[in-house]
Amino acid sequence: MEQRILQDKLDSASRLVNDAQWQAAFSSLLRTPADTELALPALKVLNTLYSLQGTAILSGQHDYLESPDEFSNKLKNTCGQYAALHGYELGAINNQTETVIGSQRQAVVDSAVRWHKAGGIVTMSYHAHLPGTAPAWSNVSVSLSEVDFAKYLTPGTAQYNALMKDLDKTALSLKKLRDAGVPVLWRPYHEMNGGWFWWGQKRRFTELWNLMFERYTVYHKLHNLLWVWSPNAKNQWCDEPAGYYPGAGRVDVLALDIYEGDFKKSHHDTLWDLGRGKLIAIGENG
């Protein structure tokens, strides 16, 4: 915790320092994993990605919870190759029963283990339904006031307890991957600078991120996770991403979700400036 706070303070201070040697040392510090106890397999992935920074791009293909290999296999059948990254989903959005969700998440885990053993990189998103509600898309995209959102951040409330319960259920799948030695680029609560998810455009969003971070790295000891923060590219429907950034000490990769062919150079440059040399990516490409 103290190291993450120090990184945040140094990040602020570094913007006022012009000394080249100091900046180089700070850049090296920023490459420190968000999880200071990161397991070796995940650290190897992080270092591999940094070794490619500025020289190469790794492509990825996303699949859904209900069919974790469908589009990855379609890509292979179409062009003869798989992507380097296989994207998975752990959020349930079709009002499935707990039994069905468990079976679907197990299929994701099994596929991810196979993918890792074959030499691929695993990334996962998490479309979380509002804790305490049914696992349906309408409860992912439900509107929530700032006052009601705050209840999920307040220990002792029914809403907070429901959040912890859902986080713990999802952690079961991530633990299986941890135990199998599988690193995961973990991309929860994406597009938080837009207003279409219950966690979106909330002043206290970073507290939600921190709750998950602490619950997973400290309580569940999920040291196989690389933390990917993925706002939407700034447009007329969403805010500037910087206001929702959890800080250098809680993020490994900064990504943008980009739709409608909106590949502006300013999107890249703004993200690069915010991350100060951290890894950057496209989280979703619509």
DSSP 34-100: SSTT--HHHHHHHHHHHHHTTT----EEE-BTTBTTHHHHHHHHHHS---SEEEEE----B---HHH
Confidence of residue 8 (pLDDT cuts 50, 70, 90): low
Helix (H, G, I), strand (E, B) or coil at 201: coil
Percent of the chain with pLDDT over 90: 83
Confidence of residue 3 (pLDDT cuts 50, 70, 90): low
Per-residue pLDDT tens over the stretch 111-153: 999 999 999 999 999 999 999 999 999 999 999 999 999 999 9
Per-residue pLDDT tens over the stretch 266-276: 889 999 999 98
**What is the predicted pLDDT for the residue at 15?**
62
Tell me the pLDDT of the chain averaged across its residues: 93
**What is the predicted pLDDT for the residue at 119?**
97
Helix (H, G, I), strand (E, B) or coil at 119: coil
Q: Which whole number is the average pLDDT over 167-186?
A: 98
Please say if the pLDDT value at position 33 is more than 60.
yes
Per-residue pLDDT tens over the stretch 47-101: 999 999 999 999 999 999 999 999 999 999 999 999 999 999 999 999 999 999 9
Domain 2-285 = CATH 3.20.20.80 = yes
**What is the predicted pLDDT for the residue at 262?**
85
Domain boundaries, the chain: 2-285
